[in-house]
Amino acid sequence: MKLSEITSAGSKLFAKSEFGPASDRWPALSFSKRKIANDFANDYRRGRDFVVYVGTGDPDKTELPEHRQNLLSVLSVEPRAPISTRDLVPADIWERTVRQWGRRWEWSLPIIAT
């Protein structure tokens, strides 16, 4: 699929670096600060705008080489008020993430389509 097939003249594309592609194990667009999540939610328009995940270049953060510095996912999110990430992510994944990275990415918007 080409981006031109899903975007329109008024579409915005938001790029976000991530460790891997969007998945059901982390079905959320996550932010470390609630204010940033709120600002994004206020600017994003469902059905018009899209988020593009690109892999980080850091091998310590992006385990799989094929994910590093590559296009990973294009997604649509629900731009309501941000909710707690722990309410969207499976408990085992959230607990492992907090153990490894600390309390980051606590606010999220649900992914509705990839």
For the stretch 16-34, pLDDT in tens is 999 999 999 999 999 999 9
3-state secondary structure of 54: strand
What integer pLDDT is reported at residue 61 of this predicted model?
86
How far, in Å, are 8, 20, 21, 71 from residue 62 at the CA level?
32, 7, 10, 13
**pLDDT for 37-54, tens place per residue?**
999 999 999 999 999 999
Q: Cβ neighbours of residue 60 under 8 Å, at least 6 residues apart? A: none
Task: Answer yes or no: are the C-beta atoms of 88 and 20 closer than 8 Å.
Answer: no
Domain spans of the chain? 3-113
Distance from CA of residue 68 to its chain's centroid? 16
1: pLDDT confidence band, cut at 50, 70 and 90?
A: confident
- Rounded to an integer, the average pLDDT of 78-100 is 95
